Amino acid sequence: MKKLLLYIIVTVSAMFFWAWVTFQASVGGWFHHPIADQPTSQAFQKAVDIEIDKQFTGNFAMAVMNNGKTEYEKFYSAGRPVNRNTVFQVASLSKWVSAFGIMKLVENGQIDLDAPVSQYLTRWKLPSGEFNNEAVTVRRLLSHTAGLTDGLGYSGFEMGTPVQPIEQSLTQALDADEGVSGSVKVGIEPGSEFKYSGGGYTLLQLIVEEVSGQAFADYMKENIFQPLHMTHSSYTWPDSTADNFELVEFYNSNGTKAPHYQYTSLAATSLYTSLSDLEIFFQVFLVGSNNEPIGRNVLKPETVKMMRLPHAQTMGEDIWGLGTILFAATENGDFIIGHDGKSTPPINTAVRLNPETGDGIIVLETGNPLLATKLASEWVFWKTGKVDTLLFTMETNRMITIIGIGWGVIVLIFIGLLIKQKKKQGKA
């Protein structure tokens, strides 16, 4: 009996050890191969072409940045050609740009990051519940740590259909993705954990309007896009002040044309922008750029840096700043940063940016749900050997499979030892 107990303890310990080793190996990229075999631009571009050819892609625009400058751009379209000024909807990548605009109000002293958001709200209030609504702050909304459990995800409204008023959307979003609550309320202790919330950014949108006295889209245009000379960017469509916008075509994954959706949730998911404008926004975050001051005189350098300080963790890893995803740590203790966007019908967008080196990638595409994220994360691994936050997520199934195989072998060894022990006892 003692020997059986020992076998069980050793087996369970071996299973836990194997799972830990496999997790560490996955984080370290031991099971992953770079997308390109050579560290050259030509090799990476060839690898991108191969990925585009694997499955349907409607429209595609990519820029690879080197030392803060555009090294090369790449375009593809199944229909009407796209170029660096073609306007894409960028889904949740909108949050990163929205956060930049919110930090402008923080810098101006109009918003306190750590004050209860209730002090800025007159048009709508968080519903009462089990937890303290006064612990919901702008800092926590920006970092998805405010305890909101809406689960949004917005599906949007077809063009020509009236969008829901923002106050009604916060109470119950009619365009909530299937299977989520869609009601913005505090469902877990604020500050206790990271929980992604699209509704939190719709609440931030309302705060911007309350504090600035402007419609959110007007505030962002006047205070962010115009000073940065982002001339192909807007949170609404059509934008009556811009007659040079050419909107990309939308596609379903099967290659058919898809409808264009509009949103109440502008800050969370409704930014329209171009590759050329995102190249400008990319440069805002660079450290020690020789050509432009950090923040391009819209935000102070210390405010820009604050956006990439860790504010949320998962499994002990820093993953989120203030509106900014922390994809991977750099050699000097900073982070490769940016944001991704994903919606249905398929829109996928991604930015990876190393603020220390000025290297990075921007990918905008329609018709494929994960191509932009995959290429951007693959660029990080190819460039640095690091598995970024979203590549790790995409590799989870492989990690689970390897853990399962290892556990199977360990259990077989355990069974073999038991059989061997019984045979010994039988002979005795």
Residue 379 has pLDDT above 90, yes or no: yes
- 357 vs 144: which has the higher pLDDT: 144
- In the structure, what pLDDT confidence band is assigned to residue 242 with cuts at 50, 70 and 90? low
Residue 298 has pLDDT above 80, yes or no: yes
Stretch 249-256: mean pLDDT: 96
CA distances from 357 to 69, 331, 337 (A): 11, 11, 12
Distance CA(47)–CA(236), nearest Å, equals 35
pLDDT value, residue 315: 83
pLDDT value, residue 290: 53
- pLDDT tens, residue by residue, 96-109: 999 999 999 999 99
- pLDDT tens, residue by residue, 182-232: 999 999 999 999 999 999 999 999 999 999 999 999 999 999 999 999 999
Q: What is the mean pLDDT of the chain?
A: 91
pTM score:
0.91
pLDDT value, residue 288: 60
Residue 84 has pLDDT above 70, yes or no: yes
Token readout for 123 is 């048009």
Token readout for 118 is 């209730």
Task: Indicate the domain borders of the chain.
Answer: 2-29+398-427, 41-394
pLDDT value, residue 396: 76
pLDDT value, residue 30: 77
Return the closest-CA partner of residue 134 out of 186, 70, 173.
186
Tell me the percentage of the chain whose pLDDT exceeds 70.
95
Stretch 244-271: mean pLDDT: 95
pLDDT value, residue 327: 96
Q: Residues near 231 by Cβ (< 8 Å), separated by ≥ 6? A: 225, 242, 244, 277
**In the block, residue with structure tokens 């019984």:** 422
Distance CA(265)–CA(200), nearest Å, equals 10
Q: Residues near 360 by Cβ (< 8 Å), separated by ≥ 6? A: 64, 65, 282, 336, 338, 351, 352, 353, 354
- pLDDT tens, residue by residue, 19-62: 888 887 777 777 788 899 899 999 999 999 999 999 999 999 99
Fold annotation for 41-394: Beta-lactamase (3.40.710)
